[in-house]
Amino acid sequence: MFDLKHLQQIIKMKKIKFLSLAVASFATVIAVGCSAPKEEATEETMEVVEEVAAPVEAPKTVVDIAVGSPDHTTLVTAVTAAGLVETLSGPGPFTIFAPTDAAFAALPAGTVENLVKPESKDQLTSILTYHVVSGNVLAADLTDGQKVTTLNGQELTVSIANGVVKINGATVTAADLTGSNGVIHVVDGVLLPQ
């Protein structure tokens, strides 16, 4: 027969041995971990990619917008011949009603060729400045019957019907092309001063 007291004492002794063994094992692991040679740190090389910022383009002036348009080569030629590039590249702001190449082509034969001659510079300047208004005049600012004074001192008349904006009878085909120094409205006709 088993002696219950004796059995309990054996279990107790086994528990103590087991705990002693566990503590010893744990202490050994800690000791080995602390005294083990440290791994040499591996040197990491990092490739530095230098980010090159894209060149910052200067904001486009109204002249830059016209120069970049395939439909305004005649206007650019005329502005250059009149010596207005520097003026219209200035701080402004300017509102330009810009006739297309087709609008210039609709003038009587030889008109443009004669206007870009040096002896016609004053007349050309008068015509071109008749297409320019001081200030930023957006399409939403225009009203039917409105008169706007141009840089040559004469007025343009705005008419609006069924959502179509006209300047002295020329239709605005593209509006609010905004530059750093003003705005361009493309028109399908050349505006001629009185």
Query: Does the pLDDT at position 37 exceed 50?
Result: yes
User: Dihedral sign, CA of 159, 161, 163, 169?
Assistant: negative
- Between helix 121-129 and helix 73-81 the angle, nearest 10°, is 120
Does residue 146 sit within a domain?
yes
**Tokens describing residue 17:** 């041995």
Domain hosting 6: range is 1-32
The reply to whether 25 and 75 lie within a common domain is: no
CATH number at residue 160: 2.30.180.10
Does residue 110 sit within a domain?
yes
The reply to whether 16 and 84 lie within a common domain is: no
Residue-wise pLDDT tens digits, 78-90: 998 988 888 888 8
Residue that has been written with the tokens 């008109």 in this structure: 111
Give this prediction's pTM: 0.69
The reply to whether 66 and 25 lie within a common domain is: no
The reply to whether 74 and 16 lie within a common domain is: no
pLDDT for 57: 62
Does residue 21 sit within a domain?
yes
Number of domains in the chain: 2
Does residue 56 sit within a domain?
no
